Amino acid sequence: MNRKKLFLYPLFLVLAMTVQAQEPNWTLTGYVKDLFMFYHPAQQLPEISQDNLYTNTIHNRLNFEWLATDQLTIVIENRNRLISGNLVKNFPLYQSYIDTDNGFFDLSFVPFNGDTWFMHMMIDRAYIDWTTGKWQIRAGRQRINWGVNLVWNPNDIFNSYSYFDFDYEERPGTDAVRIQYYTGTTSSAELVYKMGDNANEMALAGLYRFSQWNYDFQFLGGWVGTDWVAALGWAGDIHGAGFRGELSQFVPRKDQSESESATVVSISADYSFPNSLYLHTGILYNSSGQNGKAGGLSPILNQNLTAKSLSLGKYELFGQCSYQITPLFTGDFSTIINPGDGSFYLGPAINYSLQTNLELMLAGQLFFGSKGSEYGDVGQLLFARLKWNF
Q: C-alpha distances in angstroms, 26 versus 8, 17, 109, 125, 139?
A: 21, 8, 27, 16, 19
Residue 2 lies in a domain: no
Identify the CATH number of the domain in which residue 103 sits: 2.40.160.10
The count of domains in the chain is: 1
Contact of 375 with 297, CB cutoff 8 Å: yes
Instruction: Mark residue 332 as left, alpha or beta (left: phi above 0; alpha: psi -120 to 50; beta: remaining).
Output: beta
Per-residue pLDDT of the chain (390 residues), as tens digits, is 444 555 445 444 554 555 444 456 999 999 999 999 999 988 766 556 667 899 999 999 999 999 999 999 999 999 999 999 999 998 888 898 899 898 899 999 999 999 999 999 999 999 999 999 999 999 999 999 999 999 999 999 998 989 999 999 999 999 999 999 999 999 999 999 999 999 899 999 999 999 999 999 999 999 999 999 999 999 999 999 999 999 999 999 886 557 889 999 999 999 999 999 999 999 999 999 998 888 877 766 666 689 999 999 999 999 999 999 999 999 999 999 999 999 999 999 999 999 999 999 999 999 999 999 999 989 999 999 999 999
Residue 59 lies in a domain: yes
pLDDT value at residue 145: 93
pLDDT value at residue 277: 97
pLDDT value at residue 259: 83
DSSP class per residue in 168-201: -TT---EEEEEEEEEEETTEEEEEEEE--SSGGG
CA distance 367 to 181: 44
Residue 4 lies in a domain: no
Domain that holds residue 199: 9-389
Residue 253 lies in a domain: yes
Q: C-alpha distances in angstroms, 318 versus 53, 156, 354?
A: 28, 18, 30
Q: What is the pTM of this model?
A: 0.89
Residue 3 lies in a domain: no
Contact of 345 with 367, CB cutoff 8 Å: yes
Of 60, 61, 58, 110, give the one whose Cα is nearest residue 83.
Answer: 58
Q: What sign results for the dihedral spanned by CA atoms 185, 191, 195, 200?
A: positive
Q: What sign results for the dihedral spanned by CA atoms 9, 14, 18, 20?
A: positive
Contact of 62 with 28, CB cutoff 8 Å: yes
Of 101, 98, 75, give the one whose Cα is nearest residue 12.
Answer: 75
Q: Which amino acid is at 69?
A: T
Residue 115 lies in a domain: yes
pLDDT value at residue 258: 75
β-partners of residue 264 are 248, 286
